[in-house]
Amino acid sequence: MRKWLGLLLLAPALWAQAAGAQAIEIPAWFTESFLEFPEDVKDAAREGKRLMVYFGQDGCPYCKQLMQINFTQRAIVEKTRRHFVAIALNIWGDREVRWTDGRRMTEKALARSLKIQFTPTILFLDEQGGVVARLNGLYRPRHFRAALDFAAGTAGIAQRFEDYMKSVAAESASPTLHAAPFLRKPPVALDGPRPVALLFETPYCGECDELHAEGFRRPEVLKLLERFDIYRLTLDDARAHALRVAYTPTLVFLEGGREVFRVEAYLRPFHLASALAYVADGAYREEPSFQRFIQARAERRRARGEAVELWK
């Protein structure tokens, strides 16, 4: 009854959001509630399930891909509904949320508190409200299915998430790593005058193939790469374990030996270039929200009459 009342109360606001330009359509099987997460965790546990909390925003092409590709595949939908109660939050939303620790705040304040930098971001919560896995950005179906298995507790038991994800790295893709002129030879030097980017890749990685075939061939990206010292490492490297890298390709940016930002999900060239600019220009020091940085960057380009293609 609590969930039905919540749905009735929230329906007008949800309709208004969905009617906006580039609205992301959330699957009907997602649950609406009063967003009292301590209670939602208990409700899910009583059903023998865990919580899956989706953070998204309208106009996000990666959120659209998640909904239209991942959540239209029968195997993924059935597995998600069998093991999880799914709840959607808007990173710019004003609905009040009581988070698992009892704090009350708006959706956008919660997103800021949890340092949500990419959409979609998905948190999987266990029966006590603890985060068992976090997906910072879009995972393609193969990786997403594996993440569901881990978060449900049906695979990777007694393993760390990133260690388990190594077991699903192989796929039908290039058996060798791609050569690239901007990659520096080891040993890794962290004390140079430029920021350092650690690129984690593996053979048989389709997303790595695409990154080299498309992202690393764009003139804008190549120009930005010149401002970094870039080293490629594999998941067997000790730094992958220390940095808890769970996805390939992942880019970890460091300045003064300290991590300042990372990209650990599927990205198209515009967002790849934006991530490089975010670090190279030092924008992360003044603007902690990567999403706001992207929006401002896109708006400046549109004001100059340039076309901004978020997905191409």
Residue 308 lies in a domain: no
Regarding whether 209 and 68 lie in a shared domain, the answer is no
Domain boundary among 137, 168, 199: 168
Domain assignment present for residue 312? The answer is: no
**Of 57 and 308, more confident:** 57
Q: Are residues 111 and 190 in the same domain?
A: no
Last residue in a domain, options 168, 195, 218: 168
The residue range of the domain holding 47 is: 2-168
Residue 311 lies in a domain: no
Give the CATH number, domain containing residue 136. Answer: 3.40.30.10
pLDDT digits (tens, 9 = 90+) for 261-281: 999 999 999 999 999 999 999
Specify whether 146 is located in the same domain as 278: no
pLDDT over threshold 90, residue 172: no
Percent of the chain with pLDDT over 70: 92
Rounded to an integer, the average pLDDT of 185-192 is 90
pLDDT single digits (tens) 200-224 = 999 989 999 999 999 999 999 999 9
User: What pLDDT score was predicted for residue 7?
Assistant: 38
Same domain, 119 and 216: no
Model pLDDT for residues 112-134, shown as the tens digit of each residue: 999 999 999 999 999 999 999 99
What's the pTM value of the predicted model, to 2 decimals?
0.87
pLDDT tens-digit map of 19-68: 343 789 999 999 988 999 999 999 999 999 999 999 999 999 999 999 99
- 227 and 296 in a single domain? The answer is yes
Q: Are residues 245 and 191 in the same domain?
A: yes
**pLDDT confidence bin for 168, thresholds 50/70/90:** confident
Final residue of a domain: which of 168, 201, 222? 168
- Kindly tell me if the per-residue pLDDT of 16 is higher than 50: no
* Residue 11 shares a structural domain with residue 79: yes
Q: What value does the mean pLDDT of the chain take?
A: 91
Is residue 90, in this structure, part of any structural domain at all?
Answer: yes
Q: Are residues 188 and 279 in the same domain?
A: yes
Count the domains in the chain: 2
Q: Do 296 and 191 share a structural domain?
A: yes
- For the chain, give the secondary structure using H, E and C: CHHHHHHHHHHHHHHHHHCCCCCCCCCCCCCCCCCEHHHHHHHHHHCCCEEEEEEECCCCHHHHHHHHCHHHCHHHHHHHHHHEEEEEEECCCCCEEECCCCCEEEHHHHHHHCCCCCCCEEEEECCCCCEEEEEECCCCHHHHHHHHHHHHCCCCCCCCHHHHHHHHCCCCCCCCCCCCCCEECCCCCCCCCCCEEEEECCCCCHHHHHHHHCHHHCHHHHHHHCCCEEEEECCCCHHHHHCCCCCCCEEEEEECCEEEEEECCCCCHHHHHHHHHHHHCCHHHHCCCHHHHHHHHHHHHHHCCCCCCCCC
